Amino acid sequence: MNISNITVRFFLLFSLTGIVSAQLSATFYGKTCPNALSTIKTEVMSAVNSDRRMGASLLRLHFHDCFVQGCDASVLLDDTSSFTGEKSAGPNANSLRGFDVIDTIKSKVESLCPGVVSCADILTVAARDSVVALGGASWTVPLGRRDSTTASLSSANSDLPGPSSSLSALISSFSNKGFTAKELVALSGSHTIGQARCATFRRRIYNDTNIDSSFATSLQANCPSVGGDSTLSPLDTTSPNTFDNAYFKNLQSKKGLLHSDQELFNGGSTDSQVNAYSSNPASFKADFANAMVKMGNLSPLTGSSGQIRTNCRKTN
């Protein structure tokens, strides 16, 4: 009986420990690195003030991290002779940016609290601070993620939705990560900031019919049918550096830059949600914040899983 009781108690203790270690907490660094969040915010504000596009870049970096084996900073790992990371994947190559900003933040935080704050948490907080820096609403970020020692080039190529995706493909891609169609629309609202390369929207402005003709013509001036692949255009031409609900109003006017953007308002099941966010910016900001917290909770490494990298670009 005693052995049985001890076994049961040990099992319960082990189970509770597992539950606790798997939980993220907003106050995770409250005692171990109390100035971590303020340091991250200062660096993000500085980076965005000097390059407004950087806000969208840091937000996108977090998204591309979380959708590939969870929010574990795998996207930050450089390729080496014996390791293949995710940076060369189709959705990431020549388009992901902000790595240097993350490096700067990491070095500042490391000088404060060596080996304490993960790169995965820095990415998650930087995404939130970027939205705030460009006028969006804030939200509380649960913390305590750890960094992976692995990456997945194949998952980066398969799990990240592309700019030519159909509505059904988008819904499926987000559903695979546990998101509803409504949350897909809310998160797509991140395209109220940032820019896209000509190569990602060329087919839309020359071939799509559900596009405002004057809008298409104006884009063609800087994005020729051949060449100019890297020429940039804002995803939201109305207020490209302000986090607002103009993106949804643009969709109503057939002025979505990417084919995948306009798919959200093209006679399909998500039209009503686009209309709702267009007329109610407060509901968009609230839903976006909630969806971002949910995204930040995608399969995080916690407890003793993974590691706290000292350099975000390589494993310890």
One DSSP character per residue, 202-231 reads HHHHHH-SSS-HHHHHHHHTTS-SSS-TT-
Q: Classify 167-294 by CATH class.
A: mainly alpha
Q: Which residues belong to the active site?
A: 64
- The string of pLDDT tens digits covering residues 101-120 is 999 999 999 999 999 999 99
pLDDT for 22 equals 53
* Confidence (pLDDT) at 23: 84
Beta-carbon contacts of 65 under 8 Å, excluding residues fewer than 6 positions away, are 71, 72, 73, 74, 75, 76, 120, 123
Confidence (pLDDT) at 168: 98
Place of tokens 């597992």: 18
Residue 259 CB neighbours (<10 A): 22
Average pLDDT, integer, range 112-139: 98
What percentage of the chain carries pLDDT values higher than 90? 92
Q: Are 55 and 63 in contact (CB under 8 A)?
A: no
Q: What is the mean pLDDT of residues 153-164?
A: 97
161 assigned to a ligand binding site: yes
pTM score, whole prediction: 0.92
Rounded (10°) CA dihedral 58, 59, 63, 65: 20
Q: Is 74 marked within a binding site?
A: yes
CB within 8 Å of 51: residues ≥ 6 apart:
none
- Residue-range domain boundaries for the chain: 30-160, 167-294
72 labelled ligand-binding: yes
For range 202-219, the mean pLDDT? 98
Structure confidence at residue 16 (pLDDT): 41
Q: Which helix (H) or strand (E) holds 201?
A: helix 198-207
Report the C-alpha gap between 128 and 290 in whole angstroms. 11
Q: Please, what CATH class does the domain formed by 30-160 belong to?
A: mainly alpha
Q: How does pLDDT run across 169-181, given as a tens digit for each residue?
A: 999 999 999 999 9
Q: Provide the pairing of β-strand 232-234 with 195-197.
A: antiparallel
192 annotated ligand-binding residue: yes
